[in-house]
Amino acid sequence: MQIKINRQNNIEEYQIPFKSTTLLKALYHIKNYTDNTLTFSSNCRSGVCGACAVRVNGKEVLACSYNFKDGDLVEPLAYHEIQRDLKVNKQKARETLKDSTAWLHQPQKSTISQEQVTLTEKQTDCILCDSCYSSCPVLEVNPNFIGPFALTRAYRYTSDPREGDIQSIVDNIQTNGVWDCTLCGNCTEVCPQGIDPKMDITMLRSTSAQFGYSDPNFQAMSFGSDFGFGGF
């Protein structure tokens, strides 16, 4: 079996002497027996920590959960500073959590029903692997876009009955936030935790509308004479 790895924009090929194993084991095999300079991130090795996310043939996977196939091309996550080979700096993506202010602003006492827990249970499973962020086409054109995992977390807190100041969170996700998403669904497709950021962003748009916001792209559209109603 052969895999290709994009190392600082050089595609290098490696032979792996076994079949049907995880990509992470293959990377460790290369490091231990072929080239000990190969650099990548891992920690739990069991799909829990999110450290080992990479792109395979253009799609984000967790290396410890993905069984590699002959000819696979392995690359680092997109929109991240590459530190070396497959290891990236996740700091810039983490900043989006600050931008979205996705935390409890004004905690208040509240009884939380099981139904309410279930509503945002999935979102709390985020392991910050950054797969969704890497898959998002909006970041290609707007590097300041808050991005999917931070918006998913914002949704989690706007739905929390203990939050006494939902307005602040909603205010903070209007610029480079909910309305910039194209609802393409890439983030939902790649999330290893089964989280649906696209749906969460849709819900956040609805919450934003309740606070008087609307889609600025829609507002910018010109009505009236453009539709032939002028001059009457």
Could you tell me how far CA 49 lies from the centroid of its own chain? 15
Residue of the chain from 64, 187, 203, 204 that contacts ligand SF4 (CB under 6 A): 187
Q: Is 191 in the site for ligand FES (CB under 6 A)?
A: no
* Binds 64: which of ligand SF4, ligand FES, none (CB < 5-8 Å by kind): ligand FES
Q: Is 148 in the site for ligand SF4 (CB under 6 A)?
A: yes
Token code pair at residue 138 = 């909006």
* Binds 52: which of ligand FES, ligand SF4, none (CB < 5-8 Å by kind): ligand FES
Structural contact between residues 55 and 75, judged by C-beta atoms closer than 8 angstroms: yes
Classify 145 as helix, strand or coil.
coil
Structural contact between residues 109 and 31, judged by C-beta atoms closer than 8 angstroms: no
Question: Binding mask 124-143 vs ligand SF4 (x if CB under 6 A, - otherwise)?
Answer: --xxxxxxx--xxxx-----
Best CA proximity match to 187, nearest among 231, 141, 130: 130
Structural contact between residues 211 and 167, judged by C-beta atoms closer than 8 angstroms: yes
Sites of contact with ligand FES (CB under 6 A): 42-45, 47-52, 62, 64
Sites of contact with ligand SF4 (CB under 6 A): 50, 126-132, 135-138, 148-149, 152, 181-187, 190-193, 195, 197-198, 201
